[in-house]
């Protein structure tokens, strides 16, 4: 059972707290992402799991084994480095069979494993080439093959696609997931790219400033962000400031700037509180003309951007708030710049958060 | 706008008047430098001076006296003496540098990898034998291993008598810090991610080091080997002090150079030829040499990797460093301090008796070192850039790089001797002082060009290109980009040359018999078997060594303070 458990782990570098009392459980055979902006501590956490650095406090378990004092070579892990770290003095083939060799397997066995993993990454040409002679995509495949050849049941990936071109990156991310699933591995994938994490991971832990903010499936994080930061970092959100005017049964009435009112369901807030509304651009309805409707605010289209699949409108609402709306480009009529419109807020898919003490800008900051 | 702030125009005006002359000269030179002929001319001049002053004279000196070698072929006795002596040189140099590499790696590893306050102290201590001029080191070792107050006090007689064992100890002591320094540098530059990758793939620390780290830093290990090898081959003064009746190539040349010119030509050419041959072989075949990476011994490596093994390895390393390198190096402090409380110090400071020649020698040492250093910086810069930037193509730069290193591996006595016979036969009236400067330039030149070209290589070509696209002329780029970014390397290269020059004895003795630098004077003070020289007491020699070390320390410290914090980006 190669699940990974992290219990109250803290790691400091001088005065910087890189990982701050983090607890986390990655299930057996799960493809798990550590997602966050750079400097959030996700790579540090991954290196702690690998044993490349030691925690200041807390416990790390791989399977049932407490591994705090186990050196990396005995943790039974495979690690794919952001820079690939292919040994520059060995050709691709020798890189791949390095693991089996240092583990003392005999040469025939090492070679069999080598061929198996290369079959898996679909790379059999250019095996005698040195890493410096390979393309980024090939280096990445060799790096994955090398990690797999070591025979570990836990695969740790540190921004494994970060150094590749967009096209190659998109192809390879599905391949890595497929291999991990085919081999029934437990994988922890570090990335700062939310679309990458959403596309391939079973569950995601969003990190910020050394802490885990929220853990959930991609859909959970997208549909029910529990903080302004997650609403902003996963996908895209509009943020509007307002006050809680009234609470009736399940509905909360929010007063926006200039006395505009919208109602939403749920939201853990109290009357009179300053709040932030978060709503995804594609959840908003927009129609031509100024119409009086429940939950609507009229506005003017200020910019229209054609993005291929979608069309994107930037609307200045009559209360001076700006809002972004995204609609499928092939359905319905397009609106034009300067047109008067009515924007309708979804009652159930608009989220409300207490206004953050540190300010809205700081709360969504990824720096 | 703030009233106190000068306008841009006013600032411009101020700059124009303040630096007008300097500015105008700089601009004129800048414009000149963008002319292709001038630009290439500067580089070619640098190379020409290198050939004319440094590389060719020693070679020509031997070639024009080639026929004198017949002397040796008719004197089988002399021939066998020469060959035996040369053989001793190479055996000792190879042995010492091999031991250096093996013992320096654990210390370098400790310094580069362990994080603790005492490591910084260890780091600084490991430089000490490097700063102590080799003759002072030689005397210090002689006292420690052979003198009655040294380690021998624990035994009934002298523990190590002058001879080959003491020579090996001496050469080990002065080359060890050089090797440690190079390996520490290589380990700090090395991307540790490779080692981490090996660990996650299942390699214990020792296997990871053996199969990944060492092969990757192999070129630095080879460079360290060549440095240690050439220092051992070249060292003369201190070797003379501790040799007893034992003779290596350098000592043989010193003994016969004024009586058998032919034999000296023979010995010099064999020493030079074999040294260059070994250098070329190590340099070109070394990188192809496969370390035993194809074999793995999992359980054996594992045993040697963990805590107890690591602790015992570190203890042995520290014992070697303190007992064999550091303590013997500093042992001369004992008589030096003792002399302070006796009348010796007064005599020394008043400059009477034997001290007259000591102070004269000291002044001569520093004058020669300063002049040689400054000249080498000037003539070495174009060559360094040429080597680093491959201005005239890959092959010519590669060849130049190789040639620049040759004076490094040539034993300094042989170099000094052939330099002298060349200049004396071509320009009869050449003053000895100039010859001395030439010899010191030839010996120290490679140290500067090597460190400087490595520094230039580290500056990305893109910075130079950016500067050019912003409108800087070639010289402007050099002034505003290369110099500020390599200032630290220029200084450290200069320090290397200076200390090496102050230490130098072999070439000094060979080139100018009348001009005696401080270390040469000190060598003469030490009583040796079969040599009757000026009698000096141990206290006097100790004080002489102590003063030399003290002055070297002060100069280095002053330079370090001057360059502190500058030029490190």
Share of chain B above pLDDT 90, in %: 20
Say if residue B567's pLDDT is above 50.
no
Which domains does chain A show, CATH number per domain? 4-231 (3.40.50.300), 236-363 (2.40.50.140)
Say if residue B569's pLDDT is above 50.
no
Are residues B300 and B413 both part of a single domain? no
pLDDT mean by block of 10 residues, chain A; 367 residues: 87 91 93 91 93 93 91 89 90 90 85 87 84 88 89 89 82 88 92 91 93 93 90 90 83 83 78 87 87 85 90 89 90 85 87 86 80
Are residues B250 and B393 both part of a single domain? no
Inside any domain, residue B146:
yes
pLDDT in tens, B264-293: 889 999 998 999 998 888 888 877 776 655
Inside any domain, residue B427:
yes
The alpha carbon of residue B183 is apart from the nearest alpha carbon of chain A, in Å, by 19
In this complex, the residue of A52, A74, A86 whose CB is nearest that of residue B196 is A52
- Whether B348 and B341 have beta carbons less than 8 Å apart is answered as no
Inside any domain, residue B120:
yes
For the CA atoms of B7, B11, B14, B16, the dihedral, rounded to the nearest 10 degrees, stands at -130
Residues in A lying within 8 Å of B, measured between beta carbons: 50-52, 71-75, 77-79, 81, 83, 85-89, 98-99, 101-104, 146-147, 150, 156
The number of domains in chain B is: 2
Are residues B192 and B54 both part of a single domain? no
User: What is the domain-level CATH number for residue B546?
Assistant: 1.10.3720.10
Say if residue B16's pLDDT is above 80.
no
Say if residue B83's pLDDT is above 80.
yes
Region of poorest pLDDT, from A37-41, B417-421, B448-452, B491-495: B491-495
In this complex, the residue of B194, B202, B218 whose CB is nearest that of residue A85 is B194
- Selected residue with higher pLDDT from B171 and B492: B171
Instruction: Judge: B201–A102 Cβ closer than 8 Å, yes or no.
Output: yes
Instruction: Judge: B202–A103 Cβ closer than 8 Å, yes or no.
Output: yes
Bridge partners of A188? Answer: A32, A156
Are residues B393 and B313 both part of a single domain? no
DSSP per residue, A168-222: HHHHHHHHHHHHHHHTT-EEEEEES-HHHHHHH-SEEEEEETTEEEEEE-HHHHH
- Of B331, B355, B372, the position where a domain reaches its end is B331
Are residues B345 and B309 both part of a single domain? no
Are residues B369 and B512 both part of a single domain? yes
- B548 by Cβ neighbours in 10 Å (0-12 / 13-18 / 19+) ranks as buried
Which pLDDT band, with edges at 50, 70 and 90, does B568 fall under?
very low
Structure token digits, residue A121? 């990454």
Mean pLDDT of chain B: 84
- Of B331, B355, B379, the position where a domain reaches its end is B331
Are residues B287 and B213 both part of a single domain? yes
Range of the domain at B128: 89-331
For the CA atoms of B219, B221, B222, B227, the dihedral, rounded to the nearest 10 degrees, stands at 130
Are residues B163 and B239 both part of a single domain? yes
The alpha carbon of residue A68 is apart from the nearest alpha carbon of chain B, in Å, by 15
Cα B450 from chain centroid (whole Å):
11
In this complex, the residue of A52, A89, A98 whose CB is nearest that of residue B216 is A89
Inside any domain, residue B10:
no
Are residues B308 and B410 both part of a single domain? no
The alpha carbon of residue B311 is apart from the nearest alpha carbon of chain A, in Å, by 17
Bridge partners of A223? Answer: none
Q: What are the residues whose beta carbons fall under 8 Å from the beta carbon of B338, sequence distance 6 or more?
A: B539, B542
- A136 by Cβ neighbours in 10 Å (0-12 / 13-18 / 19+) ranks as middle
Can you point out the beta strands (E) in chain A? 4-13, 16-26, 31-35, 57-62, 65-66, 77-80, 154-158, 186-191, 203-208, 211-216, 238-248, 251-256, 261-265, 274-279, 285-288, 296-306, 310-317, 322-328, 340-344, 351-354
- Closest-CA residue in chain B for A143? B197
Inside any domain, residue B438:
yes
Number of other CB atoms surrounding residue A216 within 10 Å:
18
Phi, psi of B134 (to 5 degrees): -60, -30
pLDDT in tens, B151-181: 777 777 777 777 899 999 999 999 998 899 8
Query: Of the spans A24-38, B231-245, B347-361, which averages the highest pLDDT?
Result: A24-38
pTM summary value: 0.82
Inside any domain, residue B109:
yes
Whether ipTM tops 0.85, in short, is: no
Contacts of B303 in chain A (CB under 8 A): none
Inside any domain, residue B80:
no
Instruction: Judge: A150–B205 Cβ closer than 8 Å, yes or no.
Output: no
Q: How far apart are CA A360 and CA A255, in angstroms?
A: 17
Q: Where are the alpha helices (DSSP H) in B352-511?
A: 355-389, 394-409, 412-426, 432-458, 461-469, 474-477, 483-503, 506-511
- Of B261, B296, B331, the position where a domain reaches its end is B331
Q: How far apart are CA B31 and CA A10, in angstroms?
A: 60
Contacts of B201 in chain A (CB under 8 A): 73, 78-79, 98-99, 102, 146-147, 150
- Whether B480 and B466 have beta carbons less than 8 Å apart is answered as no
Instruction: Judge: A102–B198 Cβ closer than 8 Å, yes or no.
Output: yes
Bridge partners of A79? Answer: A156
pLDDT in tens, B178-207: 899 889 888 988 888 999 999 999 888 888
Inside any domain, residue B368:
yes
Contacts of A69 in chain B (CB under 8 A): none
Are residues B345 and B451 both part of a single domain? yes
Are residues B111 and B53 both part of a single domain? no
- Whether B386 and B397 have beta carbons less than 8 Å apart is answered as yes
In this complex, the residue of A79, A87, A101 whose CB is nearest that of residue B194 is A87
Are residues B362 and B321 both part of a single domain? no
Residues in B lying within 8 Å of A, measured between beta carbons: 191, 193-194, 196-205, 207-208, 211-212, 215-216, 218, 296, 298-299
């Amino acid at each position: 059972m190669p699940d990974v458990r992290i219990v109250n782990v803290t790691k400091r570098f001088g005065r910087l707290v890189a990982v701050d009392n983090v607890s986390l459980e990655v299930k057996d055979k799960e493809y798990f992402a550590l997602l966050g902006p750079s400097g959030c501590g996700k790579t540090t956490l991954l290196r702690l799991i690998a044993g490349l650095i030691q925690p200041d406090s807390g416990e790390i378990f791989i399977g049932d084994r407490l591994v705090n004092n186990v050196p990396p070579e005995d943790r039974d892990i495979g690690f794919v480095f952001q820079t690939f770290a292919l040994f520059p003095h060995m050709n691709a083939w020798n890189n791949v069979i390095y693991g089996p060799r240092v583990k003392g397997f005999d040469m025939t066995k090492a070679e069999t494993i080598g061929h198996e993993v290369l079959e898996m990454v679909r790379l059999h040409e250019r095996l005698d080439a040195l890493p410096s002679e390979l393309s980024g995509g090939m280096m990445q495949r060799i790096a994955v093959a090398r990690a797999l050849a070591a025979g570990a049941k836990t695969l740790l990936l540190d921004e494994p696609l970060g150094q590749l071109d967009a096209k190659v990156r998109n192809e390879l991310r599905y391949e890595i997931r497929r291999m991990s699933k085919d081999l029934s591995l437990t994988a922890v994938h570090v990335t700062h790219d939310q679309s990458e994490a959403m596309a391939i991971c079973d569950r995601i832990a969003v990190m910020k400033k050394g802490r885990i903010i929220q853990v959930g499936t991609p859909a959970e994080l997208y549909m029910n962000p529990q903080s302004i930061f997650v609403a902003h970092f996963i996908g895209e959100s509009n943020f509007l400031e307002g006050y809680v005017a009234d609470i009736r049964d399940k509905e909360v009435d929010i007063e926006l700037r200039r006395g505009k009112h919208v109602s939403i369901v749920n939201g853990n807030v109290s009357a009179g509180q300053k709040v932030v509304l978060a709503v995804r651009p594609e959840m908003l309805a927009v129609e031509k003309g100024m119409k009086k409707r429940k939950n609507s605010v009229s506005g003017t289209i200020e910019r229209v951007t054609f993005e291929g699949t979608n069309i994107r409108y930037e609307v200045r609402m009559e209360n001076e708030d700006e809002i972004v709306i995204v609609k499928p480009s092939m359905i319905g009529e397009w609106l034009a710049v300067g047109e008067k419109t009515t924007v309708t807020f979804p009652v159930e898919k608009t989220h409300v958060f207490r206004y953050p003490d540190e300010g809205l800008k700081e709360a969504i900051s990824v720096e | 706008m703030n009233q106190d702030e000068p306008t841009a125009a006013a600032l411009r005006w101020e700059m124009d008047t303040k630096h007008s002359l300097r500015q105008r000269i700089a601009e004129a030179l800048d414009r000149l430098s963008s002319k292709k002929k001038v630009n290439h001319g500067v580089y070619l001049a640098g190379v020409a001076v290198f050939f004319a002053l440094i590389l060719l004279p020693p070679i020509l000196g031997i070639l024009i006296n080639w026929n004198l070698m017949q002397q040796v072929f008719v004197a089988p006795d002399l021939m066998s003496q020469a060959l035996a002596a040369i053989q001793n040189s190479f055996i000792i140099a190879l042995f010492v540098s091999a031991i250096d590499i093996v013992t320096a790696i654990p210390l370098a590893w400790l310094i580069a990898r362990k994080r603790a306050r005492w490591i910084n102290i260890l780091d600084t201590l490991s430089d000490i034998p490097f700063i102590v001029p080799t003759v002072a080191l030689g005397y210090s070792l002689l006292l420690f291993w052979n003198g009655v107050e040294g380690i021998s006090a624990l035994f009934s007689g002298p523990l190590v008598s002058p001879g080959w064992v003491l020579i090996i100890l001496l050469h080990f002591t002065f080359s060890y810090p050089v090797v440690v320094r190079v390996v520490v540098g290589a380990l700090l530059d090395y991307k540790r991610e490779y080692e981490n990758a090996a660990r996650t793939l299942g390699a214990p620390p020792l296997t990871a080091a053996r199969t990944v780290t060492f092969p990757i830093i192999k070129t630095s290990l080879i460079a360290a080997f060549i440095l240690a090898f050439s220092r051992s081959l070249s060292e003369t003064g201190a070797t003379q002090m501790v040799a007893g009746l034992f003779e290596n190539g350098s000592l043989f040349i010193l003994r016969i150079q004024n009586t058998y010119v032919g034999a000296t030509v023979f010995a010099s050419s064999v020493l030079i030829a074999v040294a260059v041959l070994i250098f070329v072989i190590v340099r070109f075949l070394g990188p192809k040499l496969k370390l035993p990476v194809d074999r793995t011994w999992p359980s054996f490596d594992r045993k040697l990797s963990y805590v107890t093994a690591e602790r015992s390895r570190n203890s042995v390393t520290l014992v070697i460093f303190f007992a064999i390198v550091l303590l013997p190096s500093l042992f001369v402090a004992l008589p030096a301090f003792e002399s302070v409380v006796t009348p010796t110090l007064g005599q020394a400071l008043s400059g009477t008796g034997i001290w007259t020649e000591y102070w004269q020698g000291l002044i001569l040492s520093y004058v020669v070192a300063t002049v040689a250093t400054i000249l080498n910086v000037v003539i070495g810069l174009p060559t360094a850039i040429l080597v680093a930037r491959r201005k005239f193509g890959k092959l010519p730069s590669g060849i130049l790089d190789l040639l620049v290193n040759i004076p490094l591996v040539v034993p300094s006595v042989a170099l000094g001797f052939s330099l002298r016979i060349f200049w004396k036969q071509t320009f009869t009236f050449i003053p000895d002082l100039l010859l001395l400067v030439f010899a010191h330039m030839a010996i120290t030149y490679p140290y500067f060009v090597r460190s400087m070209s490595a520094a230039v290589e580290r500056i990305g070509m893109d910075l130079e290109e950016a500067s050019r696209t912003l409108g800087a002329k070639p010289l402007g780029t050099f002034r505003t980009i290369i110099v500020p970014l390599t200032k630290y390397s220029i200084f450290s290269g200069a320090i290397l040359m200076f200390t090496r020059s102050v230490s130098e004895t072999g070439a000094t003795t060979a080139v100018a018999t009348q001009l005696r630098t401080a270390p040469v004077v000190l060598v003469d003070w030490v009583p040796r078997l079969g040599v009757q020289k000026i009698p000096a007491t141990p206290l006097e020699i100790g004080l002489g060594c102590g003063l030399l070390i003290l002055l070297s320390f002060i100069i280095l410290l002053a330079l370090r303070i001057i360059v502190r914090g500058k030029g490190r980006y």
